[in-house]
A = this chain, B = another copy of it.
Amino acid sequence: MAKSILSETPELDYSEASDYFNPEAFTELVENRRSCRLYTDEKIPEDVMNKCLDLALLAPNSSNMQPWEFYWVRSEEKRKLLTSYCLDQPTVKTAAEMIVIVARRDTWKRNSALMLKAFDEQEGKVPDSAILYYKKIAPLAYNQGFLGWFGLVKRIAFNVIAIRKPMVRQPKSIEDMRVWSNKSTALAAENLMLAFRAYGYDTCPIEGLDQRRVRRMLKLPYGKAEVCMAISVGKRGENGIYGPRIRFDRELFVKEV
């Protein structure tokens, strides 16, 4: 069933063209983005913050489950705590703003229902296979059960079915759900960092932080949410970039097969 839902081409009453073409602007943007460790004391306008966050929310993501959250840390008290939880790194100490990006492995249930509601509002324009996907397949795919028991059942079932034919094997555990939610959330994080650069500001992604203290500060539910990364934002300082960009030989990473 999963296979026929995925492999069929639905009848559609929708078309969306795009003639966007601007490789120069994007190349320049990516080349100008560097992780910044020291910012000036320039503030960032509130509407720039909001516009960049809006662009993050347009990232592609797994089954449109949007498993992300963005905590813009504005309170002075929380900001002080966050700086110490990031071990007083200069990029955090000097940042104009800080955003903690959180991966949620639990919100797919709520968001699955929201997808079905959104389909309802399109009155008959949505293919049956899409509705079936969110009604039947998504709960099967993302539910792992208490302590992962249902994931274990799936793992066995998938492996039996997969003896004879290709089969999606993941997510089949709570750990897979961690990977799953962090992956989509990182896609949005990259949009966010590029957006700030496009607006003339710099960023630095921070994973070197006390995950547990940050989680508690943000009152994130244990076992359901985790810090994907924090992002510092500001205007690049004089020595904000620590050195020329280092990338190892392309052949180590790009393979034609």
- Does the CB pair B30–A18 fall under 8 Å? no
- Does the CB pair A15–B238 fall under 8 Å? yes
Whether, in the assembled complex, A136 has its beta carbon less than 8 Å from a beta carbon of chain B, the answer is no
- Does the CB pair B55–A26 fall under 8 Å? yes
List chain B residues, Cβ under 8 A from A38: 9
A60 to B90, CA, bound (A): 18
Whether, in the assembled complex, A23 has its beta carbon less than 8 Å from a beta carbon of chain B, the answer is yes
* A31 contact from B58, B87, B178, B182, Cβ within 8 A: B58
List chain B residues, Cβ under 8 A from A147: none
Whether, in the assembled complex, A127 has its beta carbon less than 8 Å from a beta carbon of chain B, the answer is yes
- Does the CB pair A2–B126 fall under 8 Å? no
* A6 contact from B175, B180, B208, Cβ within 8 A: B208
Instruction: List residues of A (84-135) whose CB comes within 8 Å of B's CBs.
Output: 84-90, 107, 111, 114-115, 118, 122, 125-127, 130
- Does the CB pair B10–A68 fall under 8 Å? no
Instruction: List residues of A (199-257) whose CB comes within 8 Å of B's CBs.
Output: 199-200, 202, 204-205, 207-213, 218, 228-229, 236, 238-239, 241-248, 250, 252-257
- Does the CB pair B55–A208 fall under 8 Å? no
Instruction: List residues of A (1-57) whose CB comes within 8 Å of B's CBs.
Output: 2-3, 6-10, 12, 14-23, 25-35, 37-38, 51, 53-55, 57
A66 to B72, CA, bound (A): 27
- Does the CB pair A7–B257 fall under 8 Å? no
List chain B residues, Cβ under 8 A from A162: 210, 212-213
A144 to B247, CA, bound (A): 25
- Does the CB pair B58–A30 fall under 8 Å? yes
Q: Which residue of B lies closest to A64 (CB)?
A: B246
Name the distance in Å between A94's Cβ and chain B's nearest Cβ. Answer: 9
10 nearest A-B pairs in the assembled complex, by CB-CB distance: A186-B186, A26-B198, A190-B190, A25-B25, A20-B32, A166-B210, A7-B88, A16-B241, A21-B200, A187-B190
Q: List 18 A-B contacts (CB under 8 A).
A: A14-B241, A14-B244, A19-B200, A23-B195, A25-B25, A25-B198, A33-B60, A62-B207, A66-B252, A69-B254, A72-B254, A85-B166, A86-B166, A170-B207, A175-B178, A178-B179, A183-B207, A186-B186
